[in-house]
Structure 1
């Protein structure tokens, strides 16, 4: 768990957000669709204003996401390196089908994401 900032208490959206070494990790939770993507967008905008490094999205507690999440990740990637941890078969398939797997790398842990994203800078 990333404990610096709590955005949502167990609901859908960003459940935790904090710096992890030289990356910022945002834990997404619940079913992320049109009703809740704005929570993620606001939290990301706040992090982009405060933190100059790469962003890592932890998706292990995400039950559902659609193309809105992919669009958000790609928009964020235009500003900073972005990595994913905790993906599942559904998310991996969505990245494959949309052709974004090559530009949104997945990692096994925050440590691996930090190593991969900071090396790429």
Structure 2
């Protein structure tokens, strides 16, 4: 299932959601900045609306992560009020580091692979 209808409508960001047993994995690619945050919000809201047991947000193909996008990730966690745990996948230091510096990793666990995020 594709969450973002057509990546050409939002240059810089592509997103898709895949169901994996009890979880939904939202894979993001490109840049997560002020211009693409509305699509990120839409993708996360659509995935959470399905009430999965777990939401994994795969940031492995993300090239840039702005503060506005980090805020959306935190909002998605808080918006779920704990009903749906969220886990992040970040392989690149340029993505992991802002998550660590802002303290997000204390609230949302970060894994090196989707497989590990699903297995925990």
Instruction: Say whether the 8 Å CA contact 1:22–1:114 is kept in structure 2.
Output: no
Q: How does 1:1-121 map to 2 (within 5 A)?
A: 4-5=1-2, 7=4, 8-9=6-7, 11-78=11-78, 79=80, 80-116=84-120
Task: Give the drift of 1:82.
Answer: 1.1
Calculate the TM-score normalised by the size of structure 1: 0.81
Instruction: Say whether the 8 Å CA contact 1:18–1:24 is kept in structure 2.
Output: yes
Instruction: Say whether the 8 Å CA contact 1:14–1:26 is kept in structure 2.
Output: no
Q: Give the number of aligned pairs.
A: 113
- Gaps (5+ residues) in structure 1? 117-121
Task: Give the drift of 1:6.
Answer: 5.5
Task: Give the drift of 1:12.
Answer: 2.7
Calculate the TM-score normalised by the size of structure 2: 0.81
Structure 1 residue ranges (4+ consecutive) displaced by more than 2 angstroms after TM superposition: 4-15, 108-111
In structure 1, distance between residues paired with 2:14 and 2:44: 9
CA offset digits 1:70-101 (Å, max 9, x no partner): 11111111212111113310121101211111
Q: Secondary structure at the match of 2:107?
A: coil
In structure 1, distance between residues paired with 2:64 and 2:87: 18
Task: Give the drift of 1:51.
Answer: 3.0
Aligned-residue CA RMSD (Å): 1.9
